[in-house]
Structure 1
Amino acid sequence: MRSTLVTTVCTLTAVALSSAAPSAAAAQALDDPTIVAIFDGANTADIETGRLAATRGHSKQVRDFGAMLARDHAQVRQQGRDLAAKLGVTPTPPKPDQGAKDHAAAMKQLRALKGAAFDRAFLAHEVAYHKAVIDAVQTTLLPAIRNAEVKALVVKVAPAFQAHMLAAQNLEKQLAGR
């Protein structure tokens, strides 16, 4: 069981890292509609994983954390969608949209787990996912954003991604101590 959990956590971490960070070639082709789509997709992914944890989490802390993630990311996603509508920007996902494929794989793996194994894998995924998103925002997305309002929104919500990562790390430590 332990080796299965380790394999699952490693796979989910790899998925999180690959889905949040565009490749070097993709980074060169980033425009604001693509960045808006990536932003939307990153939030949608965490809404889905949060909802899964809210219903499948073994501990109350994980269920509560999942519900908070879903709620926070739904609000941020709506802010992005409202801004895109205001600016007349149609989000254009990158081709191929590896992030969507990787997220589907992560969800499949998480759905296969139960109990404390789910909690551990979910939290490891959230830490890795938020680290990858933060890195992608800082090194790839922010430098490529041309519209000042889009950039301002991404800068405004970036601390929430950091807070979610730290909360997941703290929850991992709490649950490991049991």
Structure 2
Amino acid sequence: MKIKYIPFFFAMIFALNTSQAMANDPADLNDLEIAHVAYIADNIDIRYAHLALAISTNPEIHAFAKTMIRDHTAVNEQALALLKKLKAQPQDNFLSRALNKNAEKLINEMSQLRGIEFDKRYAANELAYHKAVNDLVENAFIPNIENAEVKALFEAGLQIFKAHEGHAEHMVGAL
């Protein structure tokens, strides 16, 4: 069975960023829409991690998955606390809906894999996912966030997620 190494999310982000005719541009999202995208993206990675813990027997995959759960949960808790402080609610949007839809497809695909096939697919997805999300956060979201506290949270989160990208890259190389 041939394994696809470009996740649906990465392909979707590429399409969004390269389509001149696309009416929905991530850079045009407001702070509350951006917050929702980030929250959804974190929850998706947490779901991927739980899947990895359920399927993989590789200790490195397990360690990475536990890190994803810990770090993405912590960032989401900080984001929710900030939204509460600001008395604001995240706003659903085209990108958060697309992320959820594409994540379901990928979870269904990965849940059929076992052994090294799963481990390679999970690791490759994590690398591509973090590259895509980090690029989106750094180049489309942070420059357009208006609230200073929200921007600071995204900048801090980006540093954590860049470390995840490096860890995922190492994991891919090791497999």
Question: What is the CA-CA distance between 1:55 and the residue it aligns to?
Answer: 1.9
Give yes or no for the alignment of 1:9 onto 2:8: no
In structure 1, the residue corresponding to 2:139 is in which secondary structure? Answer: helix
Structure 1 vs Structure 2: percent identity of aligned residues?
29
Distance in 2 between the 1:99 and 1:122 partners? 17
Distance in 2 between the 1:17 and 1:159 partners? 23
* 1:50-96 deviation line (CA, Å, top 9, x unaligned): 11112211311111211111111111111111111111111012136
Cα distance, 1:69–1:99 mapped onto 2, change above 3 Å = same
Distance in 2 between the 1:92 and 1:104 partners? 20
Do the aligned partners of 2:27 and 2:141 also contact (CA within 8 Å) in 1?
no
Question: What is the CA-CA distance between 1:22 and the residue it aligns to?
Answer: 5.6
Amino acid at match of 2:94: K
Question: What is the CA-CA distance between 1:174 and the residue it aligns to?
Answer: 1.6
Question: What is the CA-CA distance between 1:15 and the residue it aligns to?
Answer: 2.8
Number of residues paired by the alignment?
169
Give yes or no for the alignment of 1:99 onto 2:95: no
Distance in 2 between the 1:21 and 1:164 partners? 24
5 Å-filtered alignment, 1:139-154, equals 139-154=139-154
Where does structure 1 differ by over 3 angstroms across 4 or more consecutive aligned residues? 19-24
Cα distance, 1:108–1:100 mapped onto 2, change above 3 Å = same
RMSD: 1.9
5 Å-filtered alignment, 1:26-105, equals 26-27=25-26, 29-95=28-94, 97-105=97-105
Question: What is the CA-CA distance between 1:112 and the residue it aligns to?
Answer: 1.1
- Give the structure-2-normalised TM-score: 0.89
Please name the residue that 2:126 is paired with: 126
**Structure 2: 5+ residue runs without aligned partners?**
none
Distance in 2 between the 1:55 and 1:93 partners? 30
Question: What is the CA-CA distance between 1:123 and the residue it aligns to?
Answer: 0.4
Cα distance, 1:93–1:125 mapped onto 2, change above 3 Å = same
**Bigger share in helix:** 1
Amino acid at match of 1:29: D
- Give the structure-1-normalised TM-score: 0.87
Distance in 1 between the 2:14 and 2:40 partners? 9
Cα distance, 1:131–1:112 mapped onto 2, change above 3 Å = same
Distance in 2 between the 1:39 and 1:19 partners? 14
